[in-house]
Amino acid sequence: MKVTVKWTSKKLELDLDVSESPIIFKNQLWSLTGVAPERQKLLLRGVQIKDDTDWSTVKNLQEGAQFMMLGTAGELPKAPVEKPVFVEDLSKNQAAQIMANAPPGLVNLENTCYLNATLQCLRPVHELQSALQADGKSFSGDAVTNIAVSLRELYKQLEKPATVDAIPPVVFLTNFRTAFPQFAQQDNRGHYAQQDAEEAWNQLLTAISSSFGSNGKSPVTRYMGIELEHETTCDDPAAAAAGEMATTTETTDLRLTCHISNTTNNVHQSLAEGMTQHLEKASAALGREAKYTVQSKVKRLPKYLTVHFARFFWRADIKQRVKIRRNVAYPSELDMYQYCTKDLQDKLSEARNHGRVHPDLAADEGCNPSGVYELCAVLTHIGASSDSGHYIGWVKKEKDDWHKFDDDKVSPIKEAEVLKNSGSSADGHIAYLLLYRAKDVEAKPASPSDA
């Protein structure tokens, strides 16, 4: 039900779910006001709402009810302008992070490694952070907006130069679970359940994209959107003879999916196989069911390309999504030229052969003008199923230096070790999501043919 909460001079409009504990509602208020639940005094017509209050016993609780909240937003103690820090005062993890010049990690708030790994792996998309900063929205009664705002504030904390301690993403997590209740599921012991990182990745990007509204292309689509062209042709020559033409459709997605069979060995093989699909449907020309081939080509490449390994499938006998542990190699440099339409290939050739960006691609903010990518983040999983085990994020720093984000533990690692997460060790971490970033176009000296 829609309710209003009056706090100081502000009036907040929120959705109240009476099937949930009041503490959930108070956490939502915390994310909007900065007043922690233990500092809140929530009243409805003079009656105080406590953490364990049964909503069904509250009088005057109805659509449009107006609550009053008392309490002041907490403020973290301010450190001196220059505070000496001694190595002996630091924990082993803090000292290791300083020595490695490592960024801060994120605290696991009970089975939230799936979300921590996702947040760390998306940090290389700097344009997304810039767009969130420039957007300037504030917390409101809109759950999607609150995700974007709390993500902006969380990334600001992570980017602070002096931040060493791992950050508990409480406000962001509260808003994420409010918008997507499936991530607030609990087991029969009352503990928060493990979730699928790929689902969290998709929901987060979809929410951020929606927060920018429908006016023009969102930063998510601009920098991460892949445009595909699909040509569907009937396999039976009789259809063409009867006048049936091939049909062409276009789609935009935020990822490419690599399906894994018992013969899949690497990303290129899986991508190539995925560009050709077969299906059966009714043919108007033949008046019966017929087999069709769908041939897909990439029409636009984004600056950041997400590749998803479809490593989990549903086993009806055990009623669980289980993991495909096959070793599928992925490269540190990915060339997408062969998967593109002829028109896009011609435009990409300008950068590839002559070191200059085609005018059409120069005008397309957020695209990849060469088709060549470098690996910049990997999200891995260890365990038997997507809703169990553990997730870790691996993010490139520079050259072959990377950081391994295991929740609050951050450590340096070399790229060669990151590439081993292909499934070569069935009991180890296996890549689930890859994030590639467009390589810079290198200028080349003009040749006589360019004149």
- Domain with residue 17: its CATH number is 3.10.20.90
From the candidates 113, 121, 234, 367, give the one annotated as an active-site residue: 113
- According to the model, what pLDDT value does residue 80 have? 35
User: Same structural domain for residues 231 and 296?
Assistant: yes
Confidence of residue 94 (pLDDT cuts 50, 70, 90): low
Cβ proximity of 86 and 25 under 8 Å: no
Confidence of residue 374 (pLDDT cuts 50, 70, 90): very high
Examine residue 386 and state whether it is found in any structural domain, yes or no: no
Whether 126 is catalytic: no
- Does the structure show a pLDDT above 60 at 84? no
Examine residue 367 and state whether it is found in any structural domain, yes or no: no
Q: What is the mean pLDDT of the chain?
A: 89
From the candidates 230, 268, 354, 390, give the one annotated as an active-site residue: 390
Residues 6+ apart with CB under 8 A from 216: none
Mean pLDDT of 279-298: 96
> Looking at 301, 319, 350, which one is the last position of a domain?
301
Examine residue 287 and state whether it is found in any structural domain, yes or no: yes
Rounded Cα gap, residues 115 and 201, in angstroms: 8
Examine residue 16 and state whether it is found in any structural domain, yes or no: yes
User: Same structural domain for residues 125 and 168?
Assistant: yes
User: Same structural domain for residues 105 and 182?
Assistant: yes
> Looking at 194, 214, 247, which one is the last position of a domain?
194
- According to the model, what pLDDT value does residue 73 have? 78
- According to the model, what pLDDT value does residue 418 have? 97
- According to the model, what pLDDT value does residue 18 have? 86
Range of the domain at 177: 98-194
Examine residue 432 and state whether it is found in any structural domain, yes or no: no
Whether 234 is catalytic: no
> Looking at 279, 301, 323, which one is the last position of a domain?
301
Examine residue 135 and state whether it is found in any structural domain, yes or no: yes
- According to the model, what pLDDT value does residue 237 have? 96
Nearest to 306 by CA among 334, 329, 328, 327: 334
User: Same structural domain for residues 62 and 102?
Assistant: no
User: Same structural domain for residues 39 and 124?
Assistant: no
Confidence of residue 136 (pLDDT cuts 50, 70, 90): confident
Q: How many domains does the chain divide into?
A: 3
Identify the top-confidence range among 135-149, 279-293, 383-397: 279-293
User: Same structural domain for residues 165 and 231?
Assistant: no
- Does the structure show a pLDDT above 70 at 210? yes
For residue 207, what are the CA distances in angstroms to 30, 153, 161, 256, 435? 20, 16, 28, 19, 19
Rounded Cα gap, residues 254 and 276, in angstroms: 19
Q: Which of 16-20, 184-188, 367-371 has the lowest mean pLDDT?
A: 16-20
The pTM is what? 0.78
Q: Which of 31-35, 275-279, 302-306, 370-374 has the lowest mean pLDDT?
A: 31-35
Examine residue 154 and state whether it is found in any structural domain, yes or no: yes
